[in-house]
């Protein structure tokens, strides 16, 4: 059994959906569980619906309309029969979205966010599944919430592995072994609490969903289909001489993903590594090409990889009375980060200061600053870039720091990280 994952870019329009069908057609004889995420930029659009509903900064119906039109246009292109049941199905999903955003919010923003934003994957999978059935690729549409159990950490839910494994073993495995099902389509990114509320696993979390299914089935391998040929040593947005890494270790993959390579979600690697399940990263544009394989290999190639994280904020935390920043205040500082839900990308300490760089977030940063200011002096500097080079050498560092001011630098044997201000 294989697990495939198609992201939003692969199904952003009717041609994309047809292309997914073509790729699945190439694997007709295999048992495949296919995870699909929301089409194109739907998740961003649904985030605006959630904001409009909760913060009342815009009209909810006005935010929903373009999402409906976008999907209807895709369906109109895919289904010539306008009485096809998929139109009713999608209509009902939009009715659910309208109910979810009717009246006043009852719980936290993060709770409402999950109920609203999760709908993007439901719509996408309904359309893709119906189209595949229509074109002769018989498949089952599965609700990922019947399998992926989580806690109620809204927007960043933690998987209940034991329950999920039970669900998968008892209810999903038999679908493939007992019936004629060879292909199933399900959502990435979403899960369910024990109270039956929808959760999400964090932005771009569909890769992680593929890994969860792969781990619990267990699958023979996972393929993430991307708009790039595989894992490159740099983002082609910034470099024109990128190199495809055809074979990388789980260790390198998890480090690259953690530092910010957007090709693989960082949570994807652990569930696969734990069961020694290989991960392929392949191009949905050139599906015959071999792409990258992430597996339990020693890394013979030491090609430098470059990762840029934009929109960084440098936060410097100092004691108010010139006392040392030591373990006791560090404990307080870390607690504030954890409470504000902010991930530290790089950190450094001196006698009386502690500096970190984090992703900019207009909601979370002010909460963090307020928490820290209770006990510390806080300074911050935004609009910075964090550059990570794995397998670095002298020239690579020079290459990336041209025209920049380096504010923080951290080096280990394999990796250098530099927080820079771009002067160019």
Determine contact, residues 252/233, Cβ cutoff 8 Å.
no
Q: How far is CA 64 from CA 53, 105, 267, 317, in A?
A: 11, 17, 31, 42
Residue 291 structure tokens = 């792409």
* 284 touches ligand ASP by CB under 6 A: no
Among 188, 229, 266, 304, binds ligand ASP (CB under 6 A): 188
* 209 touches Mg ion by CB under 5 A: no
CB-closest chain residue to ligand ASP: 206
Closer by beta carbon to Mg ion, 37 or else 223: 37
Closer by beta carbon to ligand ASP, 37 or else 181: 37
x/- mask, Mg ion, residues 5-44, rule CB under 5 A, reads ---x----------------------------x-------
Determine contact, residues 415/390, Cβ cutoff 8 Å.
yes
Cα–Cα distance, 323 to 320 (Å, whole number):
7
Cα-based angle 343, 349, 355 (whole degrees, multiple of 5)? 45
- The residue range among 198-206, 216-224, 349-357, 375-383 that interacts with ligand ASP, by the rule CB under 6 A, is 198-206
Selection from ligand ASP, Mg ion, none that 188 binds (CB < 5 to 8 A by kind) is ligand ASP
Residue 215 structure tokens = 């781990």
* 197 touches ligand ASP by CB under 6 A: no
Contacts of 189 (CB under 8 A, 6+ apart): 37, 38, 43, 118, 121, 200, 201, 205, 206, 209
Closer by beta carbon to ligand ASP, 68 or else 203: 203
Find tokens 């923003």 and name the residue. 109
- 3-state SS class at 185: strand
* 364 touches ligand ASP by CB under 6 A: no
Cα–Cα distance, 37 to 120 (Å, whole number):
8
> What is the distance in angstroms between the CA of the first residue and the CA of the last residue of the chain?
50
Selection from Mg ion, ligand ASP, none that 203 binds (CB < 5 to 8 A by kind) is ligand ASP
Paired residues of 376 in beta bridges: 319
Among 1, 8, 216, 325, binds ligand ASP (CB under 6 A): 8
Closer by beta carbon to ligand ASP, 206 or else 292: 206
Among 33, 38, 50, 159, binds ligand ASP (CB under 6 A): 38
Closer by beta carbon to ligand ASP, 120 or else 266: 120
* 205 touches ligand ASP by CB under 6 A: yes
Among 4, 6, 111, 189, binds ligand ASP (CB under 6 A): 189
Residue 239 structure tokens = 């470099």
| Number of residues counted as binding ligand ASP (CB under 6 A) | 12
C-alpha dihedral sign at 396, 400, 402, 407: negative
Determine contact, residues 279/295, Cβ cutoff 8 Å.
yes
* 114 touches ligand ASP by CB under 6 A: no
Residue 296 structure tokens = 């339990």
Cα–Cα distance, 159 to 156 (Å, whole number):
10
Closer by beta carbon to ligand ASP, 20 or else 38: 38
Residue 313 structure tokens = 């904020």
State the helix-helix crossing angle for 85-100 and 109-117, rounded to 10 degrees: 170
Among 43, 167, 345, 388, binds ligand ASP (CB under 6 A): 43
Q: How far is the CB of 227 from Mg ion (least distance, A)?
A: 11
Selection from ligand ASP, Mg ion, none that 255 binds (CB < 5 to 8 A by kind) is none
State the helix-helix crossing angle for 60-78 and 85-100, rounded to 10 degrees: 170
- 3-state SS class at 371: helix
* 37 touches ligand ASP by CB under 6 A: yes
- 3-state SS class at 358: strand
* 205 touches Mg ion by CB under 5 A: no
Q: How far is the CB of 29 from ligand ASP (least distance, A)?
A: 28
C-alpha dihedral sign at 209, 212, 216, 222: positive
- The residue range among 67-75, 95-103, 201-209, 302-310 that interacts with ligand ASP, by the rule CB under 6 A, is 201-209
Closer by beta carbon to ligand ASP, 284 or else 376: 284
Selection from ligand ASP, Mg ion, none that 187 binds (CB < 5 to 8 A by kind) is none
- The residue range among 51-59, 197-205, 330-338, 374-382 that interacts with ligand ASP, by the rule CB under 6 A, is 197-205
Residues binding ligand ASP (CB under 6 A): 7-8, 37-38, 43, 120, 188-189, 203-206
Residues making contact with Mg ion (CB under 5 A) = 8, 37
């Amino acid at each position: 059994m294989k697990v495939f994952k198609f992201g939003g870019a692969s199904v952003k329009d009717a041609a994309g959906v047809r292309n997914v069908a073509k790729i699945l057609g190439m694997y007709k004889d295999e048992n495949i569980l296919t995870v699909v995420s929301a089409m194109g930029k739907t998740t961003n659009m649904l985030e605006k619906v959630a904001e409009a509903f909760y913060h009342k900064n815009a009209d909810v119906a006005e935010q929903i309309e373009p999402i409906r039109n976008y999907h209807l246009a895709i369906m109109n292109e895919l289904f010539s029969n306008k009485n096809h049941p998929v139109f009713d199905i999608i209509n009902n999903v939009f009715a659910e979205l309208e109910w979810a955003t009717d009246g006043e919010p009852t719980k936290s923003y993060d709770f409402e966010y999950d109920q609203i934003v999760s709908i993007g994957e439901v719509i996408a999978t309904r359309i893709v599944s119906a189209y595949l059935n229509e074109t002769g690729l018989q498949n089952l549409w599965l609700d990922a919430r019947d399998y992926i159990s989580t806690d109620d950490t809204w927007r960043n839910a933690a998987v209940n592995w034991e329950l999920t494994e039970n669900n998968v073993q008892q209810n999903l495995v038999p679908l493939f072994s007992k019936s004629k099902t060879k292909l199933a389509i399900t959502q990435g990114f979403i899960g369910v609490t024990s109270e039956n509320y929808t959760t999400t696993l964090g932005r771009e979390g569909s890769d992680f969903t593929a890994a969860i299914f792969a781990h619990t089935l267990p699958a023979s391998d996972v393929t993430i289909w991307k708009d790039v040929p595989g894992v490159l040593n740099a983002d082609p947005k910034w470099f024109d001489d990128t190199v495809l890494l055809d074979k990388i270790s789980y260790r390198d993959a998890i480090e690259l993903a953690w530092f910010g390579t957007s090709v693989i979600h960082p949570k994807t690697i652990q569930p696969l590594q734990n069961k020694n399940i290989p991960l392929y990263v392949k191009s949905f544009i050139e599906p015959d090409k071999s792409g990258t394989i992430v597996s339990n290999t020693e890394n013979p190639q030491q090609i430098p990889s470059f990762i840029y994280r934009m929109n960084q904020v440098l936060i410097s935390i100092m004691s108010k009375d010139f006392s040392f920043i030591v373990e006791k205040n560090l404990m307080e500082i870390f607690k504030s980060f954890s409470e504000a839900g902010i991930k530290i990308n790089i950190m450094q300490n001196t006698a009386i200061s502690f500096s970190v760089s984090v992703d900019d977030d207009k909601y979370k940063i002010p909460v963090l600053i307020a928490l820290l200011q209770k006990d510390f002096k806080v300074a911050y500097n935004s609009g910075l870039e964090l550059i990570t080079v794995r397998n670095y050498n002298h020239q690579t560092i020079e290459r990336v720091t041209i025209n920049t001011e380096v504010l923080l630098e951290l080096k280990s044997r394999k990796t250098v990280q530099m927080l820079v201000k771009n002067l160019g």
